[in-house]
Structure 1
Amino acid sequence: MASITSSGLGSGLDVNGIIKQLMELESQPLTKLQARAKEAETKISAVGSLQSALSTFQARVLGLSSVSAYKTLKGSLGDSAIGTVSTASNAQAGSYSLAVTQLAQSHKLKSQVFTGVNEPVGTGKLTIQFGTHNDNGTTANTADDTFEVNGDKGALTLDIDSSNNTLVGLRDAINAKKAGVSATIVNDGSGYRLLLSSTDSGKANSLRITVEDDDYNAGTNPGGNTDTSGLSRFVYDPAGARNMAQTQAAQNAEFQLDGIAISKASNTVTDVLQGVTLNLQKISALDSNSAPITTTLSVARDTSGVKTAVEEFVKSYNEFAKVVDGLSYFDKETKTSGLLNGDYVIRSMQSTIRSTLNQGLGAGSYYQSLGAVGVTYNDKGQMTLDASKLQKALNERPDDVASLFAVNGVASDSRVSYVSSTAATQTGNYAINITAAATRGSFSGLAITNGPITITENDNDLLMVAVDGTSSGQIKLAAGSYATPAALAAEIQSKINGDSRLKEAGAAVTVAFNASTNKFEFSSNKYGSKSNVQITAVGSTTETSLGLKVAQSGTGTNVAGTINGENAKGDGQILTGTGRTEGLKLTVTGDTPGEYGTIGFSRGFASKLDQTVTGLLGGNGLLRSRVDGLKRDITNIETQGKTMTRRLEGLEKLYRAQFTALDVQIATMNSTSSYLGQQLSMLNNLASNNRK
């Protein structure tokens, strides 16, 4: 609105003052509009504070949404120098006595001395296998020693040619395979040695190194694969030639748990107590009778993390409620109020959150309310926590406390475990019926004689397989006499699982000899319809000597069954629900059909609150909609203000024109009045003179 600059033209009329007062009256609606815009901007800021408080509350809610947090156990050792203990969610609480008599160690070998790292080492093939060295007890005689191949460890075969025919080339070729052996070169002062070490400790991980030396000649150099020249210098056979020297024998960890003698390949023990990992670091001290002194291994449920998370949840809810109160209060005495007092966004938000917190969880959850674990409200509307009640629930039913807060499934049968779910999965208790257990792809060979088997080079030593859809390269078995078919089964498994193509694809097999049927049995290590194992090529006499022939194969089957009486989808050992249980994934490890109990699936309060808060904060949520509405109000007010400003500017011009005209008329009238007064005065003076 333009400012008033002109004044009266001599009439004495206060035109500026009059127009200013008139325009102040006319501008009152515009002033009210501007006040409304400022109020809307203030409310936007207040809603922003509300959003921030709600986001902070949501972050605390997420701290309660991890299922694993409710099942944590903590392990400890009375003598911490003996080792450390860690636990998984499936561990069981208990107390045990522990005494360690021997630590596990890996097998280590050293080569002869070389003058330089680039000195040629020979060419040919070098094969490293893992197994158990059964020592006859003497160091001078190895004739009675035996070596049993570890079928669980794949063999490592290297081609040594002109590209890697040096000490450093051999080292790098071994390390590049990353197949359970590490190689390094050291200078011991007299020259350079190749050091080999099994990366896994334990008796079953002793090394056996054999070669196919290019300098071998049956006529002129019959010892070429075991002599001390060429690649043969790296031969190490615990039951034969040893051209490398042992610097450390492979051995198991030996310990007693509650008086039970236990031997394990590694100092990291994971399969003695369910869910417990024991890391052994020191041998137990001996008492006066030379007996190992025991220490206490304790496994107890660790609920401190959950308690802290629940406490933080209660605290953050009350902090959020305090922010809400500060924005919505009304004080009757002072007649003051919060910025969002009476605003529908407060009422709607409070109603939504309270509805989420107060409704029962329904089927699928043992606990139905937060009050069941000690979370309630006082008379001021603040959330409170009865810590003893929460602790009692955590001690007695940790899985059900998890279901109260998080998305969780609790199975009644140990052969079933909850994996995951989707937004489509409905809560409830559902019966599980397995009509077919998952199987692995497997087959049995032809029956053979249960006795010693001889593997002859270029005769029955070659085969090829396909596992889980991946074809192997040519697999060559070590020639020699195997005392039992079981020993040869370990050799076959080791060589198959050492194939580079299969290892890259993550495919592996288990090979065993069934003494009741006298047949070799091959099984893929995976379950389901994608699991398959097949013989694709064999040596010339393999069928007669080993019972193996081309096209022998077997394919696995997926688990099949129902959840809640509705057909579920099987993929290996994973069973995925349909209908009400759409997206519910379970692992079924049983191997027989039948009833597998029930699965209780629940969406706990943390999950529900997270979804509720996400909805409130989302792009189409309540708070965003309120902010958008306030912004639209401001835009509308600005539009109205511009229109009103233009009208006021026109009105001021009109008033100024009218009052200017009035001012002119009054000035003219004043001038006429003054003239007439002068004339009358002159006439009076003239008349007075005439009378004289």
Structure 2
Amino acid sequence: MATLTSAGLGSGLPVNSIISQLMDIERQPLTKLQTKSTEAQAKISAIGSLQSALSSFQARVLSLSSASAYKSVQGSLGDSAIGTVSTAVTAQAGSYTLAVKQLAQSQKLKSDVFTSVNSPVGTGKLTIQFGTYKSGDNSFTVNGDKGAFTVDVNSTNNTLTGLRDAINAKKAGVTATIVNDGSGYRLLLSSTDSGSANSLRVQVEDDDGNATDTSGLSRFAYDPTATKNLSQTQAAQDAKFTLDGIEITKPTNTVSDVLQGVTLTLQKISTLDSGGNPVSTSLNVSRDTSGVKKSVQDFVDAYNEFAKAADSLSFYNQEDKSSGVLNGDYVIRTMQSTIRGTLNQALGGGSHFQSLGAVGISFDAKGKMTLDAGKLQTALNERPDDVASLFAVNGVASDARVSYISSSAATSTGSFAINVTQPATRGALSGLAVAGSAFDIVADQNDMLMVAVDGASSGQVKLTPGNYASPAALAAEIQSKVNGDPSLKKAGASVTVTYNADTMKFEMTSNKYGSASSVQITSTGPTAETTYGFRVAQMGTGKDVEGTINGETAKGSGQTLTGAGAAEGLQLNVTGDTAGSYGTVAFSRGFASKLDTTLNSLMSDKGLLKSRLNALNQDIKNIASQSTSLNRRLEDIEKRYRAQFTALDVQIATMNSTSSYLGQQLSMLNNLASNNK
């Protein structure tokens, strides 16, 4: 019997078609799994788009998180050629008149001509000081706020180029340049800072023994009251202007201490009228709310975009029975309720505004966020600090001596009482009483002082010998030389030196506050026991501010108080100098901060979205595993079907063969019977 090579040949049945139909029925569970996998993939994609919408919304939220943005002001000048105006958040709105009479400028001095930039200049020392020269009485008063500095000139740098580089290397307020004027090379010295108090005095210790002639290093000597071996090409002068008729003089053309929070940069003298008087122009300072309004509107728009994205993924249409990919998914419901819950809750924290509705933000009947621009503008005009607290993390102090610095995640919202038991102080010391109407500094007797300021030690501070007409002039000399010491400048340490007429004592005070602030006299002389009352071992140390925030003892560091308990992490700057109550600080975490925290929680690695994505990805893995097992089972089922139908085919083929044989035999018998007749 022949072997069958194709299903159905023996039986004539459509075996492949039958098996295919049977396998279609068997594969129905696999089709359902594939449908579930496709749905899970679609949900993963939908949640991805939801995350994108949330991220865009969060970006708008963060644009509202800076408290300073709500206090922005802008300034303008009627005549923009006069100068420019910039403003800080502390500026107050107002209108003024401005007239500029004189611009500030720095002093410039030039040397005589040298034949080459490598011409020798001599050796010795240059000591440069800043001060005010008055031609009326031919006097030079040292500017104590500007440190003096000394330049050593030796065999390594005793050329015009070397001297220039040595002066510039000090970076101490004087710029040296070499100018070729056609006849030769000159050294040009320019005070970095403008103003009459920044005139220059250049004193020389010339190694040739003569500090005033025009030979050697003394060619660079310049004392406006005596030796003038340098020539002045530009005098130092102050800026002079009037504001609302008030005469004002400032050392620089950039003026930031006339109107609070307003910086004027003067660029041109005002036009004169027919009488020779400067014509005034307007100066306007107004609150700038345009940026905040745009940020709030962007916030509203971003929320509505997010809500629209969420609706497109979760809708259900009753008429055509269509629905979004995430319809009925708990992730949408939970997310929407969490965000709406954050937006609808009261702010707390003692803020004046407690809800978004107070500044014009609300929801309509369809859940769309809306903005009443007029209501927001009114709030920004009347209470900008409170609008800042409504949106941003912010602290508002009731006392001008207290300002909010920062907070931590542990700081609770609320209104905290501030009480100071010890104001911050600076390290200070007083010398012995020194009386007199004239004060002399004598070389190699009482012209040296060494100090330690805020932990940094000075080198030898050499005072300029001479007769000082007043104790204030001598105090300025001491302050200038101490603050000019390189070691102290490098450490950022400086002092203020004054003379107390009541006690007749010179006083030295560190410019830093707190326990890290200190002043100590480490050496005097060289032959005198004191240098105008200052004696060795005198020392003064400052104190950190001490007090309570919300009744809890706060930690003080300099002028900074850091709270504990409910106010943990709250940092405040306290500038007062008396003990007592300093009002309250209302601390709040605005809606921008709260919403940012909510959104971070939703999108974090352990948040709602990530958890849902993890669950969907796990579902896909489980479906893939089930599909693999089911495919293997289907392969076995198909093999079984084919084996069964092959056996049936063989049996039918055998029966057909037997039937054919029997038919042939019967036909032969019938033929034999017919022949025998």
Specify the TM-score bucket, using the shorter chain as the normaliser.
over 0.9
| Paired residue secondary structure (2:643) | helix
The one-letter code matched in structure 1 to 2:37 is: A
Cα distance in 2 for partners of 1:52, 1:276 equals: 41
The one-letter code matched in structure 2 to 1:330 is: Y
The one-letter code matched in structure 2 to 1:313 is: F
Cα distance in 2 for partners of 1:294, 1:374 equals: 41
Give deviations 1:159-182, integer Å, cap 9, x for gaps: 111111111111111111111111
Q: Is the 8 A contact 1:375 1:385 kept in 2?
A: yes
Instruction: Tell me the residue number matched to 1:164.
Output: 157
Deviation at 1:150, TM superposition (A): 0.3
* Alignment partner of 1:82 is 2:68: no
* Alignment partner of 1:604 is 2:590: yes
Instruction: Tell me the residue number matched to 1:617.
Output: 603
Cα distance in 2 for partners of 1:244, 1:6 equals: 118
Cα distance in 2 for partners of 1:683, 1:450 equals: 166
Instruction: Tell me the residue number matched to 1:378.
Output: 364
Instruction: Tell me the residue number matched to 2:59.
Output: 59
Cα distance in 2 for partners of 1:643, 1:477 equals: 96
Instruction: Tell me the residue number matched to 1:13.
Output: 13
Instruction: Tell me the residue number matched to 1:488.
Output: 474
Instruction: Tell me the residue number matched to 1:194.
Output: 187
Instruction: Tell me the residue number matched to 1:174.
Output: 167
The one-letter code matched in structure 2 to 1:246 is: Q
Which stretch of the first structure deviates more once superposed, 243-252 or 446-455? 446-455
Instruction: Tell me the residue number matched to 1:677.
Output: 663
| Paired residue secondary structure (1:90) | coil
Deviation at 1:438, TM superposition (A): 0.2
| Paired residue secondary structure (2:327) | coil
Deviation at 1:451, TM superposition (A): 2.0
Give deviations 1:525-566, integer Å, cap 9, x for gaps: 000000001001111454456011111110000000000000
| Paired residue secondary structure (1:121) | coil
Q: Is the 8 A contact 1:6 1:16 kept in 2?
A: no
Deviation at 1:364, TM superposition (A): 2.6
Distance 1:67 1:682, change over 3 A: same
Deviation at 1:6, TM superposition (A): 4.2
The one-letter code matched in structure 1 to 2:10 is: G
Cα distance in 2 for partners of 1:213, 1:325 equals: 87
| Paired residue secondary structure (2:51) | helix
Q: Is the 8 A contact 1:448 1:545 kept in 2?
A: no
Cα distance in 2 for partners of 1:492, 1:286 equals: 43
* Alignment partner of 1:212 is 2:205: yes
Which stretch of the first structure deviates more once superposed, 405-414 or 455-464? 455-464
Instruction: Tell me the residue number matched to 1:530.
Output: 516
Cα distance in 2 for partners of 1:422, 1:239 equals: 58
| Paired residue secondary structure (1:624) | helix
* Alignment partner of 1:249 is 2:249: no
The one-letter code matched in structure 1 to 2:19 is: I
Give deviations 1:99-138, integer Å, cap 9, x for gaps: 11111000110011101001111111111100000112xx
Q: How does 1:102-141 map to 2 (within 5 A)?
A: 102-136=102-136
Cα distance in 2 for partners of 1:48, 1:450 equals: 84
Instruction: Tell me the residue number matched to 1:139.
Output: none
Give deviations 1:268-325, integer Å, cap 9, x for gaps: 0010111110111111111122222111111110001100100111111111111111
The one-letter code matched in structure 2 to 1:212 is: E
* Alignment partner of 1:347 is 2:353: no
The one-letter code matched in structure 2 to 1:46 is: A
Q: Is the 8 A contact 2:524 2:531 kept in 1?
A: no
| Paired residue secondary structure (2:535) | coil
The one-letter code matched in structure 1 to 2:94 is: G
The one-letter code matched in structure 1 to 2:16 is: N
Cα distance in 2 for partners of 1:612, 1:124 equals: 70
Q: How does 1:641-652 map to 2 (within 5 A)?
A: 641-652=627-638
Q: Is the 8 A contact 1:453 1:545 kept in 2?
A: no
Cα distance in 2 for partners of 1:385, 1:507 equals: 52
Give deviations 1:5-27, integer Å, cap 9, x for gaps: 94223211221111111111101
Q: Which of 222, 225, 232 lines up with 2:218 in the alignment?
A: 232
Percent identity, aligned pairs only?
A: 71
Q: Is the 8 A contact 1:463 1:476 kept in 2?
A: yes
Q: Is the 8 A contact 1:542 1:549 kept in 2?
A: no
Unaligned runs of 5+ in 1: 137-143, 217-223
Cα distance in 2 for partners of 1:171, 1:384 equals: 66
Give deviations 1:622-676, integer Å, cap 9, x for gaps: 1111111111111111111111111111111111111100110011011111211
Q: How does 1:534-549 map to 2 (within 5 A)?
A: 534-544=520-530, 546-549=532-535
Cα distance in 2 for partners of 1:439, 1:183 equals: 40
Q: Is the 8 A contact 1:69 1:306 kept in 2?
A: yes
* Alignment partner of 1:439 is 2:425: yes
Q: Is the 8 A contact 2:349 2:589 kept in 1?
A: no
Q: Is the 8 A contact 1:9 1:664 kept in 2?
A: no
Instruction: Tell me the residue number matched to 2:399.
Output: 413
- How many residue pairs are counted as aligned between the two chains? 673
The one-letter code matched in structure 2 to 1:208 is: R
Q: Is the 8 A contact 2:116 2:185 kept in 1?
A: yes
Q: Is the 8 A contact 1:256 1:262 kept in 2?
A: yes
Distance 1:6 1:85, change over 3 A: farther
Unaligned runs of 5+ in 2: none
The one-letter code matched in structure 2 to 1:321 is: A
TM-score, reference length from structure 2: 0.98
Deviation at 1:240, TM superposition (A): 1.2
Q: Is the 8 A contact 2:77 2:281 kept in 1?
A: yes
Q: Is the 8 A contact 1:543 1:549 kept in 2?
A: yes
| Paired residue secondary structure (1:336) | coil
Cα distance in 1 for partners of 2:236, 2:526 equals: 38
Distance 1:264 1:6, change over 3 A: farther
Deviation at 1:352, TM superposition (A): 1.1
Q: Which of 593, 616, 633 lines up with 1:630 in the alignment?
A: 616
Deviation at 1:681, TM superposition (A): 2.4
The one-letter code matched in structure 1 to 2:164 is: R
Cα distance in 1 for partners of 2:58, 2:431 equals: 60
Cα distance in 2 for partners of 1:178, 1:344 equals: 66
Deviation at 1:687, TM superposition (A): 3.1
Q: Is the 8 A contact 1:79 1:296 kept in 2?
A: yes
The one-letter code matched in structure 2 to 1:64 is: L
Instruction: Tell me the residue number matched to 1:30.
Output: 30
Q: Is the 8 A contact 1:253 1:264 kept in 2?
A: yes
Distance 1:563 1:475, change over 3 A: same
* Alignment partner of 1:666 is 2:659: no
Instruction: Tell me the residue number matched to 1:219.
Output: none
The one-letter code matched in structure 1 to 2:665 is: Q
Distance 1:383 1:71, change over 3 A: same
Q: Is the 8 A contact 1:106 1:201 kept in 2?
A: yes
| Paired residue secondary structure (1:330) | coil
The one-letter code matched in structure 1 to 2:38 is: K
Cα distance in 2 for partners of 1:105, 1:656 equals: 105
Cα distance in 2 for partners of 1:574, 1:544 equals: 36
Q: Is the 8 A contact 2:73 2:89 kept in 1?
A: yes
Cα distance in 1 for partners of 2:346, 2:675 equals: 117
Instruction: Tell me the residue number matched to 1:404.
Output: 390
Cα distance in 1 for partners of 2:497, 2:350 equals: 43
Q: Is the 8 A contact 1:47 1:623 kept in 2?
A: yes
| Paired residue secondary structure (2:236) | coil
Instruction: Tell me the residue number matched to 1:653.
Output: 639
Cα distance in 1 for partners of 2:386, 2:665 equals: 114
Cα distance in 2 for partners of 1:424, 1:231 equals: 64
* Alignment partner of 1:310 is 2:303: no
Q: Is the 8 A contact 2:67 2:388 kept in 1?
A: yes
Q: Is the 8 A contact 2:94 2:284 kept in 1?
A: yes
